[in-house]
Chain A
């Protein structure tokens, strides 16, 4: 029973990692860039929702605030692409990485200015309620997190594989110039994907803030989500979720069964091990380039 309890809480944590990793993968899949600020997007989304819902700020009803904040974050993602990232088309991947790291710094700074540096929690209708299943006691938020994540991953997966837009996004990433020639509006596709990533980050942020507390440096958790994305193979949506779950589950088990001091190493050690032995992740989609 104990193990099962650990497993469930690990899964719920893992889902949040998975959702952030989904954001990485979305952007990577469509533009081959890596958004190191994805964790900070999540933090910003969480704070935006807190700003809309919590009684000490605007005090809107929870279910009304959700779509507004998700929309706002999507808009933020779109505008960011429109005015900043789009200029980077044709520059090296490393330049985009450094740019997004810098964006992360700026977002963290901005959030600290607006909402302060104390950890805050999202007031939500699910808080504190518990679900009794046999001998298990589950927080209702944990259950909600797992359900939302699985649904979202499935929806995005279908979107990428079934819809015209999803295919256009894949095409734009596989060969930008060829996609232009084929009449895919590469720039608009890229804008959309950033908007989508913003929305997904906002959902991750809402779930995270409902489960615990956020402060401006929460965005650094994005590094753990990297581990998730890398384990999943950076480019596979279900892979990102599985990677997130693996990282999420390993953490509570490591802190329980491995000596203190070694336990927080576990996710990163796993990340390095995966990178060394399976450099393109467990769900690899890369073949050696031929000239």
Chain B
């Protein structure tokens, strides 16, 4: 049983609660650094995939988890980041400049899109972003001179501080590139949440009316949140493009948008951990399914079961179970388990109970 006593105002301000927590995260970081030496190239690739998804998840988490605006269209910004990065590099911009620029351009475009979109709320925003995500497919085909249209594009190997990094040629270096971006984004995210801006995001999520009463410019806050969210998603998209090697208009479909949203819900809305936990589920589910298919096949003496679309079916079922029984996601469940252990005999069932909100409409009839 470990109890954190507050003895210092710094404890509220600094990113970690106490030394114990800091040591845990440093250990995790050390483990991630050592990962390429502990696993073979295939699993390293999978881990890399998980990290790329986690960055995208962090991007959406800012918007959905912390500002409370559900977006079903973030694949559009993945696509934009990916194409901006590659097109800039084709124009001769070095990767170290093209990569952050891809993020910034995506963020700015996202913010411009957000200004009309954020007059909508709840369902309407979700539908507008969904429509946007569908349109991106067609827009990529229509702007073929730049994007390569249906034929798609191939990602070249990139030069990071003089080291050539390529998904297939040098998986280890590519992994470190991804890890570096993950660490930077995560630290930025943690700091954002400590800053007034991040606090105002949370205020807007919890109650727009109260946020306004506290002097927060709700529209501006939402637009900034959308912009930051899109910028991070753009970075993830750029990495995703490099990771995939080849991509075209169908790579970033609506399904990816929906998957992304589901991922952060499974992980746990409103927590940085949630993005990572969700990414682990998304990343390893296909592997897990194919393994369990083999296992079931072997058990029943029929080694060739193929069920098309099973991935999404299972994914949907996991999600339903989570929403019904653990709306706070995997991280929420972990918090409960941890509290149970930490307070051992004193944990009570209703400790994490939330106020229910019964609906009132804004319609007239």
Residues of A within 8 A of B (CB): 28, 31-32, 34, 84, 87-95, 97-99, 101-106, 108-110, 112-113, 117, 170, 173-177, 216, 223, 226-227, 230, 234-235, 261-262, 264-265, 268-269, 271-272, 275-276, 279-280, 285-287, 289, 291
Contact = CB atoms under 8 A, between A and B. Distances in A.
5 contacts: A34-B123, A94-B126, A108-B313, A261-B142, A289-B362
Contacts of A173: 359, 361, 363
B141 interface: yes
Interface string B252-273: 0010001001100100000000
A102 B79 CA distance: 23
B130 A109 contact: no
Interface in B62-81: 64, 68, 70
A77 B265 CA distance: 24
Majority SS at the chain B contact face:
helix
A113 B128 contact: no
Nearest to B128: A275
Nearest to A280: B124
B357 to A, nearest CB: 6
B358 interface: yes
Interface of B: 64, 68, 70, 116-117, 119-120, 122-124, 126-128, 130-132, 134-135, 138-139, 141-142, 209, 254, 258, 261-262, 265, 307-310, 312-317, 319-320, 323-324, 327, 356-365
Given A109-B316, A285-B364, A262 B357 contact: no
A101 B262 CA distance: 9
B324 A272 contact: no
B320 A230 contact: no
Contact of A275 (B120, B209, B312, B358): B120
B363 A174 contact: yes
Contact of A272 (B131, B141, B258): B131
A181 to B, nearest CB: 11
B319 A174 contact: no
B309 A109 contact: yes
A143 B119 CA distance: 40
B316 A261 contact: no
A93 B122 contact: yes
Given A28-B123, A117-B308, 16 more contacts: A34-B126, A89-B356, A90-B356, A95-B323, A99-B319, A99-B324, A101-B316, A102-B317, A105-B316, A109-B312, A112-B309, A117-B309, A174-B361, A226-B131, A230-B124, A235-B363
Nearest to A174: B361
Contact of A262 (B142, B254, B309, B313): B142
Contacts of B258: 101
Nearest to A172: B359
B313 A106 contact: yes
Contacts of B313: 105-106, 108-110
A240 B320 CA distance: 28
Given A32-B359, A104-B316, A105-B316, A286 B364 contact: yes
Top 7 A-B pairs, shortest CB-CB distance: A109-B313, A105-B316, A90-B356, A102-B319, A102-B316, A106-B316, A176-B358
A265 B262 contact: no
A287 B316 contact: no
A268 B131 contact: yes
B316 A103 contact: yes
B229 to A, nearest CB: 15
B358 A90 contact: yes
Contacts of A223: 130-131, 134, 254
A98 B265 contact: yes
Nearest to B70: A94
B360 A286 contact: no
Contacts of A275: 116-117, 120, 124, 127-128, 131
B109 to A, nearest CB: 15
Nearest to A261: B142
A113 B363 CA distance: 41
A99 B68 CA distance: 17
B320 A103 contact: yes
Contacts of A97: 70, 123, 126
Contacts of B317: 102, 106
Contacts of B358: 89-90, 175-177
